[in-house]
Structure 1
Amino acid sequence: MSRRVSDPGKGNGFAGSGAAPVDAARRGFMAGGAAFAATALAPGVTLMAYPESAGAANAPARRWGMLIDTRLCPEGCTDCVTACSTEFGWGPAAGQVPRPGTDPQWIRKIAVKDPDTGAAFSLPVMCQHCAEPPCVDVCPTGASFKRADGIVLVDRHICIGCRYCMMACPYKARSFVHEEVQDQKPYAPRGKGTVEGCTLCVHRVDRGGQPACVEACAAAGHNAMIFGDLGDPGSEISRRVAAHRTTRIRADLGTDPGIHYEI
Structure 2
Amino acid sequence: MSMSREKQQGRREFLKTSAAAAAVTIAPGVMLHTLSADAAPRTEPVTDKVRWGMLIDANKCADGCTECVAACDKENGLDLVDMPEGADPSLWERQRPRWIRQVKLKDNLSGRITNLPMMCQHCEEPPCVDVCPTGASFRRADGIVMVDRHICIGCRYCMMACPYKARSFIHAEVAEKPTHTPRGKGCVESCNFCVQRLDNGESTTACQEACKHQAIVFGDLNDPDSAVSQALKKYPSVQIRADLKLNTGVRYSNI
- TM bucket, shorter chain: 0.7 to 0.9
Distance 2:43 2:236 in 1: 29
Q: Decide whether the 8 Å contact of 1:113 with 1:119 is kept in 2.
A: yes
Deviation at 1:92, TM superposition (A): 6.3
Q: Cα–Cα, structure 1 residues 189 and 145, in superposed 2: closer, same or farther, change >3 Å?
A: same
Partner of 1:74: 62
Q: How many residue pairs were aligned?
A: 213
1:215 partner letter: E
Partner of 1:156: 149
Q: Decide whether the 8 Å contact of 1:64 with 1:149 is kept in 2.
A: yes
Q: Decide whether the 8 Å contact of 2:220 with 2:226 is kept in 1.
A: yes
Check if 1:215 corresponds to 2:215. Answer: no
1:146 partner letter: R
- Among 78, 86, 94, which residue is 1:90 paired with? 78
2:207 partner letter: C
Partner of 1:117: 110
SS state of the match for residue 79, structure 2? coil
Distance 2:44 2:221 in 1: 14
1:103-142 → structure 2 map (5 Å cutoff): 103-142=96-135
1:177 partner letter: I
Check if 1:64 corresponds to 2:57. Answer: no
Cα displacement string for residues 192-246 of structure 1 (whole angstroms, at most 9, x for unaligned residues): 01100101100012222311111000xx3x1110000111112111121122111
Partner of 2:241: 250
SS state of the match for residue 246, structure 1? coil
- Bigger Rg over Cα: 2
Q: TM-score, normalised by structure 2?
A: 0.77
Q: Cα–Cα, structure 1 residues 72 and 56, in superposed 2: closer, same or farther, change >3 Å?
A: farther
Check if 1:197 corresponds to 2:197. Answer: no
1:76 partner letter: G
Distance 2:77 2:29 in 1: 17
Distance 1:242 1:147 in 2: 25
- Among 176, 182, 196, which residue is 1:183 paired with? 176
Q: TM-score, normalised by structure 1?
A: 0.75
Deviation at 1:55, TM superposition (A): 8.4
Q: What's the Cα RMSD here?
A: 2.3
